[in-house]
Homo-oligomer: A and B are copies of this chain.
Amino acid sequence: MSFTPSITTELVSGPSRSLVKSWFEKTRSVTDALIAPLSAEDQNVQSMPDASPAKWHRAHTTWFFETFILSTTERNYTPYDPQYEFLFNSYYEAIGARHPRRERGFLTRPTADDIALYRAHVSLAIGDLIDGCSEAVWGGIRPLLVLGINHEQQHQELLLMDILHAFSRNPIEPSYLNHIPLDASESSALTWTKFSGGIHQIGQDVTPDTPFAYDNEGPRHDVIVQPFNLANRTVTNREWIEFINDKGYERPEFWLADGWTCAQSEGWTAPLYWREDSPGDWSAFGLRGRHPVYLDMPVCHVSHYEADAFASWAGKHLPTETQWEIAALDKPIEGNLLPYGAYRPSVSTPTLEVEQLFGDVWEHTRSPYTPYPGFKAASGAVGEYNGKFMSNQMVLRGGSCVTPGSHLRKTYRNFFYSHQRWMFAGVRLAEDA
């Protein structure tokens, strides 16, 4: 493995050892807490190739620290189990062969208990390393630790997405959380805010003031935009039902050609996890189990194809990621996010301003996930983190109710394929001004 620790996470002067260690420990403990409601069987199931077992997430995030930090420091580190390198490598070709993604659910051994021991072992070793390493080593591993922490936070969200999907495929429909009474708020009226055109800057370079950003968020660069209007909030379930009732899923004129083909072959008639219990009576499945579709809440679990069709039907379009980032520029990163969030989208409170940009639901954009001008992936295995996925996927912005709050940035670029629906994704509309 040729390994270059510097590119994406270079810090001139970064956070202290104690600060990084506290982030590390906090992140590890959040993962453990997310596992608490799950049985050993729950942690082992893989309900589709896109998803992974919870146990695998726990092991893979640990493998990341072991492979990229413990195994690369000057000490003669002995891997905890040489087979784990093969089992828990996700997609790093430079690291070597790996277990086929779609067979992760076959790994009944190591057991959940084995993985708990593995986690503890690596957590302790990382703690010791942070405390005891030389300054030279510290300078090399600090950015990788921060990367590993952010990596584990990403997998916390994936773990929740994946367990929801798995539970949805069980006719018993288990609940991940106990039911909590719903806030009966009313959503805001839909209003539009105009943004002027011209030259803006988007993206994030790593600077002394920026403890961390992914390589795909930079370089920061100029863009030209034309004036546009942005909706003050995301689309609600009420509005989505209007789309359904107007035969939005049956009229090809609203759909991208690939989207129409996909919707037909998959038999889509509503968002993922929705069910029409009787005509016009919709329920949805979530981390709290099955519940009515609350009309004022943001629509969630819709694909890019559906989001685009909805926007066409509404006579609008999806925002570009540039438009979204311009709107977010002067907003604080606040919202319904993990770990203090409700694990489900929340109703926006009435306002005329652009709000709800962070948390609740990831917002589909019309921007393909491509490199920013001047982007160069790191060499070595870490360079595979983002760059090689810049093909056929679309950017989503703003985080969701299952995204750790400390993991987000205004420049954060999430990405999924246009047909995927199991992420907590919704829709904000835009229009040319």
Q: Which residues of A approach B to under 8 Å, CB–CB?
A: 39-45, 47, 55, 83, 86-87, 91, 93-94, 99, 103, 105-112, 166, 169-172, 174, 199, 221-226, 252-253, 255-260, 305, 308, 366-368, 370-371, 373-374, 388-392, 418, 432
What B residues does A42 contact at CB under 8 A? Answer: 108-109
**CB <8 Å contact, B391 and A41:** no
Contact (A373, B226) CB under 8 Å given A40-B39, A45-B108: yes
**CB <8 Å contact, B39 and A172:** no
Give A197 to B184 CA distance when docked, in angstroms. 54
Q: Distance in Å from the Cβ of A161 to the closest Cβ of chain B? A: 16
Contacting residue for A224 out of B40, B99, B199, CB 8 A? B199
Contact (A86, B392) CB under 8 Å given A106-B45, A374-B226: no
Contact (A105, B108) CB under 8 Å given A226-B221, A392-B418: no
Task: Name which residue of chain B comes closest to A163, CB basis.
Answer: B108
What B residues does A366 contact at CB under 8 A? Answer: 370-371
What B residues does A172 contact at CB under 8 A? Answer: 83, 87, 107, 109-110
Task: Name which residue of chain B comes closest to A81, CB basis.
Answer: B172
What B residues does A258 contact at CB under 8 A? Answer: 389, 391-392
**CB <8 Å contact, B418 and A391:** yes
From A55, A253, A260, A305, name the one whose CB has the most chain B CB atoms within 10 angstroms: A253
| Secondary structure class of chain A's binding surface, majority of residues | mixed
Task: Name which residue of chain B comes closest to A370, CB basis.
Answer: B368
**CB <8 Å contact, B253 and A94:** yes
Give A110 to B105 CA distance when docked, in angstroms. 18
Q: Distance in Å from the Cβ of A325 to the closest Cβ of chain B? A: 15
Contacting residue for A259 out of B47, B106, B308, B391, CB 8 A? B391
Contact (A256, B390) CB under 8 Å given A106-B170, A221-B226: yes
Give A259 to B39 CA distance when docked, in angstroms. 38
Give A93 to B260 CA distance when docked, in angstroms. 10
Q: Distance in Å from the Cβ of A3 to the closest Cβ of chain B? A: 13
Task: For the A-B complex with A94-B253, A105-B105, A392-B418 known, give 10 more contacts whose Cβ atoms are closer than 8 Å.
Answer: A41-B44, A45-B105, A91-B257, A93-B253, A103-B169, A108-B170, A226-B373, A226-B374, A256-B391, A257-B388
CB pairs A–B below 8 angstroms (26 shown): A39-B40, A39-B108, A41-B44, A44-B44, A45-B108, A83-B171, A93-B260, A103-B169, A106-B166, A107-B172, A108-B166, A109-B172, A199-B224, A221-B226, A222-B224, A224-B224, A225-B373, A256-B390, A258-B391, A308-B391, A366-B370, A366-B371, A367-B370, A373-B432, A391-B418, A392-B418
Give A47 to B39 CA distance when docked, in angstroms. 20
What B residues does A40 contact at CB under 8 A? Answer: 39-41
